[in-house]
């Protein structure tokens, strides 16, 4: 059995979570919540100066806390 | 995918899944406790967990957010109205660029600007957290010891004991770990190298592309004079012209090709007429003599063209006549097959005579795809942003999908944040509003993430 330090555990967790999210997968962190990627399509918005712009689309990380 | 996460983490840490689950829950408890006490806790490479009055929230790390959003990295908002949506003819792009930059400064706060602004905040916060964490060491250590004790009590499994020991040792040995001191600023930096290689790789790829521009092909550009793509188009245009000529006058095309390739003309020209007529009445010797004379005559007839050595012939022809470049390989292949077979026997010559006619009808090359005229400017729809090779493949896919609609599809090149982006662009219209209309018109033919962007002359 390997000795696992907290550093190793955190580093491995970050790697695994990152890989999963980049591939668009949902990640459930026990006792914490769920991380997933949501797509935000391009939208139009009006700036304070009255100019209308089209916002580019993006993929965002969304966290839903475990209740 | 909880099971998957545990399994992957177990594989990564090389421990049993049940122990991995315990490690995960231990970390979760620490994060929750820390965030409840200090308001927030930062996990380098992952993000910041913050405890609000309502619930636990999470703000992803910049590098992680960028990695997830890599498909749309470097995009900018596009003005749709007023003076910034200019007609192509006017095209004072400097004004638009200035307007867009001004907008980008205030609206893209979540894109690139925060990298410089938020990092110090994160560092300061992390320092504050570290101080707070050190104060809370004792309490957290107590939690860790509790967990260790629980595991120690569970002596039914030797493996768990083996795990609990090391884990406890790890917790005790690194006292600061109990309060998540490893989440220090210097650790935060360690998360960045994961992202940097990608950016560096893309940059290198971009540099490689620039170093070998002949492989990068916006060949349809007519604004020529600034890149090597002009050469590509110059080659492709004569090709089409040559193909048209061959279609209209198939007969002359055969001798023209025969002159270029010495081995090919011999069998097709001479063999077919004499063989069927003379073979039956004459003995073998006469036949051989006749063919020898004919071959010699053909050789002398074509001698001027054949004088150069065979290996050097093809490159010369290719260099002198770009249009023949595409037909040469096919003819060369045929010639090779014919020369090999004719050495075995004369019977192949009749079959070879029929072969030259085959490639002629197959010549019609596909018409050159419509490209975006960068000099003309305007707006386009970007359907993908990826590496150069993938962008070319993606562009070809959209050309096929939109075939018959006379909509140009091209790969635009742009630099954002020091990284070269290759964007697959569909359509070219004068204004951003027209681009939006085009997007709506094409509808399902375009992916969900399609967005409008301006066509830069140097894209």
Contact call for residues B270 and B242 (beta carbons, < 8 A): no
CB-CB: which of B14, B23, B60 is closest to A61? B60
Answer whether residue A19 shows pLDDT above 70: yes
Tokens 């596009």 belong to B78
Q: Which residues from B are below 8 Å from A16, CB to CB? A: 5, 8-9, 12
pLDDT of residue B363: 57
Distance from CA of A15 to the nearest CA of B (A): 8
Contact call for residues B455 and B418 (beta carbons, < 8 A): no
Which alpha helices (DSSP H) does B321-452 contain, by range? 324-344, 347-354, 359-362, 388-401, 432-442
Rounded to whole angstroms, how far apart are CA atoms B358 and B366?
18
Long-range residue pairs from B299-305, CB within 8 A, at least 24 positions apart, any chain = B299/B266, B302/B258, B302/B259, B302/B262, B302/B265, B305/B259, B305/B260, B305/B262
For helices A6-22 and B185-211, angle between their N-to-C axes, nearest 10 degrees: 40
Answer whether residue A14 shows pLDDT above 70: yes
Contact call for residues B332 and B261 (beta carbons, < 8 A): yes
Burial label for A6, CB within 10 Å (0-12, 13-18, 19+), is: buried
Rounded to whole angstroms, how far apart are CA atoms B204 and B197?
10
14-53 in chain A: CB under 8 A from chain B: 14-22, 25-33, 35, 37, 39, 41-42, 44-45, 47, 50-53
Rounded to whole angstroms, how far apart are CA atoms B163 and B152?
9
For chain B, how long is the longest CA-to-CA vector?
114
- Residue B332 contacts by C-beta under 8 Å, 6 or more apart in sequence? B261, B314
Distance from CA of B119 to the nearest CA of A (A): 19
Rounded to whole angstroms, how far apart are CA atoms B217 and B278?
55
How confident is the model over B267-287, as pLDDT tens digits? 444 444 555 555 566 678 888
- Residue B442 contacts by C-beta under 8 Å, 6 or more apart in sequence? B381, B402, B407, B426, B427
How confident is the model over B187-219, as pLDDT tens digits? 333 333 344 444 444 443 444 343 333 333 333
Q: What one-character-per-residue DSSP string does B374-410 give?
A: GGG--EEEEEEEE-HHHHHHHHHHHHHHTTTS---EE
Helix and strand element counts for chain B (H, E): 20, 8
DSSP H/E element including B417: none
In this structure, what is the dihedral angle of CA atoms B285, B286, B290, B292, given to the nearest 10 degrees? 20
Sign of CA dihedral B432, B434, B437, B443: negative
Rounded to whole angstroms, how far apart are CA atoms B395 and B321?
29
Long-range residue pairs from B282-289, CB within 8 A, at least 24 positions apart, any chain = B287/B346
How confident is the model over B407-435, as pLDDT tens digits? 999 998 877 667 787 889 999 998 888 88
- Residue B402 contacts by C-beta under 8 Å, 6 or more apart in sequence? B409, B426, B442, B445
Q: Which residues from B are below 8 Å from A2, CB to CB? A: 13-15, 166
Sign of CA dihedral B10, B16, B17, B18: negative
Rounded to whole angstroms, how far apart are CA atoms B268 and B341?
13
pLDDT of residue B133: 41
Tokens 């009749």 belong to B350
The average pLDDT across A15-43 equals 91
Q: What are A57's two structure tokens?
A: 């689309």
Which ipTM score applies to this complex?
0.91
Q: What are B113's two structure tokens?
A: 């600007």
Which residues lie across from A65 on neighbouring strands?
A: A33
pLDDT of residue B47: 94
170-229 in chain B: CB under 8 A from chain A: 170-171, 174, 177, 180, 182-183, 191, 194
Tokens 């050190």 belong to B134
pLDDT of residue A1: 46
Helix (H, G, I), strand (E, B) or coil at A63: strand
pLDDT of residue B280: 60
Distance from CA of A53 to the nearest CA of B (A): 4
Q: Kindly report the CA angle at B453 between B451 and B454, in degrees rounded to 5?
A: 165
Q: What is the mean pLDDT of each run of 10 residues along chain B (459 residues)?
A: 74 85 88 89 92 89 91 81 42 37 38 34 40 44 42 36 39 37 36 40 41 36 37 40 41 43 47 52 81 86 54 37 36 39 43 48 65 88 83 89 87 78 89 86 83 82
Contact call for residues B167 and B159 (beta carbons, < 8 A): no
Task: For an interface test with B, give the residue of A3, A6, A34 to mutate (most B CBs within 10 A).
Answer: A6
362-401 in chain B: CB under 8 A from chain A: none
Q: What's the distance, CA B335 to chain centroid?
A: 38
Is pTM beyond 0.80? Reply is no
Helix and strand element counts for chain A (H, E): 1, 5
Cα distance from N-terminal residue to C-terminal residue, chain A: 34
Q: What are B52's two structure tokens?
A: 């609000």
Contact call for residues B145 and B128 (beta carbons, < 8 A): no
- Residue B147 contacts by C-beta under 8 Å, 6 or more apart in sequence? B26, B167, B171
Bridge-based pairing of strands B47-51 and B56-60 is: antiparallel
pLDDT of residue B362: 54
């Amino acid at each position: 059995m390997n000795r696992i330090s907290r550093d190793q555990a955190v580093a491995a967790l970050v790697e695994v979570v990152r890989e999963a999210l980049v591939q668009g997968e949902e990640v459930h962190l026990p006792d914490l919540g769920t991380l997933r990627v949501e797509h935000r399509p391009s939208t139009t918005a009006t700036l304070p100066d009255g100019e209308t712009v089209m916002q580019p689309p993006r993929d965002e990380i969304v966290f839903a806390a475990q209740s | 995918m909880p099971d998957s996460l545990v399994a992957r983490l177990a594989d990564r840490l090389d421990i049993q899944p049940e122990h991995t689950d315990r490690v995960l829950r231990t970390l979760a408890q620490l994060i929750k406790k820390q965030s409840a006490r200090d308001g927030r806790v930062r996990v380098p490479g992952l993000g910041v967990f913050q405890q609000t009055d309502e619930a636990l929230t999470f703000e992803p790390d910049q590098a992680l957010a960028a990695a997830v959003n890599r498909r749309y990295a470097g995009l900018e908002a596009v003005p749709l109205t007023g003076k910034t949506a200019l007609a192509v003819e006017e095209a004072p792009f400097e004004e638009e660029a200035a307007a867009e930059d001004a907008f980008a400064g205030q609206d893209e706060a979540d894109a690139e600007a925060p990298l410089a602004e938020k990092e110090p905040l994160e560092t300061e916060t992390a320092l504050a957290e570290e101080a707070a964490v050190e104060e809370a060491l004792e309490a957290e250590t107590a939690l860790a010891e509790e967990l260790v004790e629980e595991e120690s009590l569970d002596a039914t499994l030797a493996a768990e004991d083996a795990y609990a020991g090391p884990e406890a040792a790890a917790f005790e040995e690194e006292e600061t770990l109990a309060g998540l001191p490893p989440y220090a600023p210097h650790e935060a930096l360690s998360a960045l190298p994961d992202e940097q290689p990608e950016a560096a790789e893309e940059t290198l790829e971009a540099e490689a592309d620039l170093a070998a521009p002949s492989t990068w092909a916006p060949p349809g550009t007519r604004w020529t004079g600034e890149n090597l793509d002009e050469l590509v188009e110059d080659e492709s245009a004569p090709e089409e012209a040559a193909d048209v000529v061959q279609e209209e006058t198939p007969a002359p095309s055969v001798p023209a090709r025969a002159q270029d390739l010495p081995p090919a003309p011999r069998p097709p020209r001479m063999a077919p007429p004499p063989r069927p007529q003379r073979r039956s009445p004459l003995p073998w010797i006469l036949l051989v003599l006749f063919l020898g004379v004919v071959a010699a005559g053909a050789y002398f007839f074509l001698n001027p063209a054949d004088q150069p050595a065979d290996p050097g012939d093809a490159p010369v022809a290719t260099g002198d006549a770009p249009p023949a470049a595409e037909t040469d390989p096919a003819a060369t292949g045929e010639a090779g097959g014919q020369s090999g077979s004719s050495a075995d026997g004369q019977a192949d010559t009749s079959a070879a005579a029929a072969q030259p006619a085959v490639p002629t009808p197959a010549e019609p090359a596909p018409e050159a795809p419509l490209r975006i005229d960068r000099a003309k400017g305007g707006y386009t729809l970007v359907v993908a942003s990826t590496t150069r090779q993938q962008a070319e493949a993606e562009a070809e896919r959209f050309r096929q999908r939109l075939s018959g609609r006379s909509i140009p599809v091209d790969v635009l090149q742009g630099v954002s944040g020091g990284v070269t982006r290759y964007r697959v662009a569909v359509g070219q219209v004068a204004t951003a509003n027209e681009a939006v209309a085009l997007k709506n018109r094409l509808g399902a033919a375009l992916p969900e993430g399609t967005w409008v962007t301006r066509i830069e002359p140097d894209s």
